[in-house]
Chain A
């Protein structure tokens, strides 16, 4: 789990794209996924996202997550079948649509995050989108610490288990109580980490003046093309939807 949203270096055209165009693509995919509810349309969308992932050569690294997601999707289908008031066939179709939609959106963001370095995302958001650096930095840093945090949680779990803490207990109530012993050290560690990070940043001059950047984000012709394509697809999708295509009644 700890590796899920880490940047994975590969030599691919997707990696070279500007973060902005990848972000536009991921948001575009989300809009498309929400526009349609016909499983065939959604399946086509999922396949297209998968193809982008393949081009980025990160699908193998994401296969584990995809397996987990498909199980989750299956549960969604089952839930629909059990709780939907209506025909069985309808329930199944709706469930499949929901599952596909969820997988598509999650996969597109995973592809975006695993092919883009955090610092590049920060860079375009502040430089091109003119968002305030402090907030972007805060947000991106908290994302960056998620894998560290998960890893830390495992270590803390270990350290408490060896002192007989029953987090491997079969009894859910005891288990829940035992997890307090994991949560508290985690909070303490995170606070300490945050403090250290703040000190490390300040001692290196954070906030002292206007920042300059080592790398200039380049928006290439390809990026303009990708963004143009995303816009066209979204407009196209809305037109289709208005004409009643890709939507089940």
Chain B
């Protein structure tokens, strides 16, 4: 399948200062769920801004949904790529939640009959349908974050980029947001999300891209990436504790064949299997 995102040797530096991205090559196929991780200042946000033309790549370097980002307007790209920002207050300005979510749809020129059901659907997706007529300024920060999320989801773009979508959310809300993102991914949307939360990565991402000082140092299947603890440590990243524990237990064994454990459930299953093997062995 043709990649929906294709970055071909992208480098970038802001006007004053060092280069932020160095020679990035990245291809993402439709339907992937990619976690973009790395320390603050590694270039994560800078990279994804190139996907929707907020930062202009040189011609031919970044293609999204067969559009060359270099010469496509942001408002046109916004039909292909949804982008959820870190700070919801940068976008919220309507006096009802409903109107805020409808803003993007109106910009796309959709008829009213289509806008209303989409708004309702997006709000119920993020669990805010009961606040549809509330003033967003009265909501909590976490709720405003979800208003912002809904306003982008309503656009139903094939690609969705989320820059730290779970900041300021409690455990329950975090799970809700990520479950929603997962659901969108299953429905065929390509997802790229930035996060610092490795347990989210382990749980939801099928692929992990690690940025370190503007370069991709790891890129692959989540399990494969979490196996490489040394390389991750370069970026001061630590896989979830259960993964680290499993890696350490595996060390004396043959690591290359033993699985990478991503969750407590997997660990439990794995230990049970080991016990059974042992028991069977002892019975001989």
Contacts and interface: CB of A to CB of B under 8 A. Distances in A.
A binds B: yes
Interface stretch (A20-28, A83-91, A163-171): A163-171
Interface residues of A, number: 21
A188 B93 contact: yes
B79 interface: yes
Contacts of B89: 185, 188-189, 192
A170 to B, nearest CB: 9
Contacts of B107: 163-166
A184 interface: yes
A163 B94 CA distance: 14
Interface stretch (B23-31, B80-88, B229-237): B80-88
Interface in B69-98: 73-75, 78-79, 81-83, 85, 87, 89-93
Interface string B18-61: 00000000000000000000000000000001001010000000
A8 to B, nearest CB: 11
Contacts, number: 68
A7 B98 CA distance: 43
B16 interface: yes
Given A161-B54, A164-B107, A185 B74 contact: no
B7 interface: no
Nearest to B78: A164
A215 B105 CA distance: 55
Residue of A3, A162, A185, A192 ringed by the most chain B CB atoms within 10 A: A162
A189 B90 contact: yes
Interface string A215-239: 0000000000000000000000000
Contacts of B137: 188
B222 interface: no
Interface of A: 3, 152, 155-156, 158-166, 168-169, 181, 184-185, 188-189, 192
12 contacts: A152-B90, A161-B54, A162-B83, A162-B152, A163-B78, A163-B151, A164-B79, A164-B104, A165-B75, A166-B75, A169-B75, A185-B92
- Of all A-B residue pairs in the complex, the 9 with the closest CB atoms, nearest first, are A164-B107, A163-B104, A184-B93, A159-B91, A159-B90, A162-B83, A161-B74, A164-B78, A185-B93
